[in-house]
Chains A and B, each alone.
Chain A
Amino acid sequence: MTDPGAKAADPNLPLGAGDVGETRPFVRLDRVVKRFGGFVAVNGVTLDIARGELFCLLGGSGCGKSTLLRMLAGFEHPDSGRIEIDGQTMAGVPAYARPTNMMFQSYALFPHMSVARNVGYGLVREGVARAEIGQRVEEMLRLVRLETFGDRRPHQLSGGQRQRVALARALIKRPKLLLLDEPLGALDAKLREETQFELRALQARRGVTFIVVTHDQVEAMTLASRIGVMEAGEIRQIGAPRAVYEQPQSRFVAGFLGSVNLFEGTVDVAAPDLMRIRTPGGGFVVPPASGLSARQPVALAVRPEKMRIAAGAAQADNALQAVVEERAYLGDRTMFKLRLNDGTVLKVLSAAAEAGVLAVEPEAAVDGGGAAADGGGLTA
């Protein structure tokens, strides 16, 4: 059952984004399928996660990301496929015997126990000596800056404090794999940002492998070393946040991570060094994409912040004639809504500092252009 090459890897190995040096993945999902009645929650997911990675499963509700996490924790069992953690198959291993700990979306703190007993519960079940439990609980509470809250009950804490108790409770057993289900969902914006960076620092310091489930793309981008975008029980794209954002491979991924302007068109010229795409709104010159040939229908995705607005009319590649419909001032940026001649509505995000742009009033005719290097062709 066990991988013949499996040997216990050093848990104090260097960390960081996806250890390249290690050949065997730390977590391996192999064609995992999970059905609930007739509904396929997870549809043949294959995924390798390296030791020390902070992997983010990103997707809308019902995409199967939580089910995947629950199968790793042992609360659900796959109908088919294999799950391996640290070289050991998890088939038949109950939740209490797995080298994982989970931070629940609702935090799931035991309401009848004090904060200290909540945090120490995992060690009590492990049979750790009393004195050591006290010491490690104290240490853990200090880490999450709740050292004076040990005697409180969970309901006496604020949302942010509860979240830190849940994190401390999940970390105290020093799990090899920490599973976090929407860890920041219940926090306000300021606390979220703070906690995001805290989680990253913690992950780097402790060397735990994190798998985070979230529907929030900003959370995924800031936290993760790699993101897996899920839809309908399948992983649509895996990659570093930058790669997934800049080179989405499908309309779904492009639209799910941030906002995007989609231009439907056809490939005009597919040369080795560049590609020309014709759309009803205008022509684009973009870097070549493999697998595309002339006369193929494509969609071109351009991020709003990759477009610039210029007054007047220009006849050039990657320049479109448009009319400003609306302008929304966002403080550090300004969002423009533009309408092309063929009726397509575009969004363009300008840094507020950009000279002249703020002066553009609605109804003004402008040029909106996507810089050639930033466009990307999509076939899906």
Chain B
Amino acid sequence: MRPVFWMLAFVGFVFLYAPIVVLVVYSFNASELVTVWGGFSLRWYGALFSDAQIGQAFRLSLLIAATSATLAVVLGTMTALALVRIGGFWGRPILAGMATAPLVMPEVITGLSLLLLFVAMERTVGWPAGRGIATVILAHSVFCLAYVAVVVQSRLLGLEESLEEAAADLGARPYEVMRDVTLPLIAPALAAGWLLAFTLSLDDVVVASFVSGPGASTLPMVIFSKVRLGVSPDVNALATLIIVAVALGLIGALILVRRQR
């Protein structure tokens, strides 16, 4: 029973992680050819850091990820509060559905619908003028909001409501209850939601491709276009770095969610 279990587990992990391991190993490849091992080297990391296009895309991606994660946390928290704390209100089912729709909606559709919206808005109200950083940030905020709302909602549901009542009972006005009790207690969920949103934004390529404009290519978009011209080894190095960043973000989010208990 035990050896069988370990064998199955091993096969499973190989299935899941072998591609990533191969990619990480080949990022340290000295050879020019992606599929031929030529000894250990950090040359592709060096090439990566001297590549101005990638550097610029990286900084842009960080900016977009941080901004949209912050926006998503604000909006997602408000959504979660409305859904959990205000019992039944008109349109609650619609809000609940719309808030979680991006979780199940194909990204292609999210991207396409946002593109159509931005174009239509530009025509009618003149904003946003063209597509670029702002439209990517807006689009990412929208689909990250859903994830934040889910994380914060579960935290709020686990929060004893009498804590907020106790604060009100002791003389705290609604905004003071929010500031002194609710927000400090859901802070781990906010941080977890922010990290989650940050990593989601950082590795999104589909939605960004739809709503981005010239001169505003995010890192995944740059990688994607490079790979289309043939895989070059510096992309392996870049991918490794992204994997590390995303893994750290996810582990951080996990730890924060766990610590809530």
Query: Could you tell me how many residues of chain A have their Cβ less than 8 Å away from some Cβ of chain B?
Result: 24
A108 touches B (CB below 8 Å): yes
A252 touches B (CB below 8 Å): no
Residues from chain A with Cβ under 8 Å of B122 in the complex: none
CB of A108 within 8 A of CB of B170, answer: no
B163 touches A (CB below 8 Å): yes
Residues from chain B with Cβ under 8 Å of A104 in the complex: 162, 165-166
Residues from chain A with Cβ under 8 Å of B162 in the complex: 104-106, 108
Please judge, given known A-B contacts A108-B160, A110-B181, A112-B185, whether A125 and B166 are in contact too, CB under 8 Å: no
A144 touches B (CB below 8 Å): no
Q: Which of B24-63 contact A (CB under 8 A)?
A: none
Residues from chain B with Cβ under 8 Å of A169 in the complex: 166, 170
Please judge, given known A-B contacts A108-B160, A110-B181, A125-B176, whether A101 and B165 are in contact too, CB under 8 Å: no
CB of A110 within 8 A of CB of B166, answer: yes
Residues from chain A with Cβ under 8 Å of B172 in the complex: 96, 121, 125
A95 touches B (CB below 8 Å): yes
Residues from chain A with Cβ under 8 Å of B168 in the complex: 74-75, 94-96
B171 touches A (CB below 8 Å): yes
CB of A110 within 8 A of CB of B163, answer: yes
CB of B171 within 8 A of CB of A96, answer: yes
Q: Give the shortest distance, in Å, between B189 (CB) and chain A (any CB).
A: 13
Residues from chain A with Cβ under 8 Å of B171 in the complex: 96-97, 122, 125-126, 173
CB of B165 within 8 A of CB of A173, answer: no
CB of A121 within 8 A of CB of B167, answer: yes
CB of B170 within 8 A of CB of A125, answer: yes
Bound together, the chains give a CA A214 to CA B176 distance in angstroms of: 31
Residues from chain B with Cβ under 8 Å of A74 in the complex: 168-169
Residues from chain A with Cβ under 8 Å of B93 in the complex: none
CB of A95 within 8 A of CB of B165, answer: yes
Residues from chain A with Cβ under 8 Å of B180 in the complex: 110, 121
Q: Give the shortest distance, in Å, between B6 (CB) and chain A (any CB).
A: 39
Bound together, the chains give a CA A126 to CA B169 distance in angstroms of: 12
A111 touches B (CB below 8 Å): yes
Bound together, the chains give a CA A212 to CA B181 distance in angstroms of: 26
CB of A111 within 8 A of CB of B170, answer: no
What 1/0 mask marks residues of chain B from 190 to 221 whose CB sits below 8 Å from any chain A CB? 00000000000000000000000000000000
Apart from A96-B169, A104-B162, A112-B184, what are 8 other A-B pairs with CB-CB below 8 Å?
A73-B169, A74-B169, A94-B168, A102-B165, A102-B169, A108-B162, A121-B167, A122-B170
B interface residue numbers (CB < 8 A to A): 160, 162-163, 165-173, 176, 180-181, 184-185
Mind listing 12 A-B residue pairs with CB under 8 Å? A75-B168, A95-B168, A96-B169, A96-B170, A102-B169, A104-B162, A106-B160, A108-B162, A112-B184, A122-B171, A125-B170, A173-B170
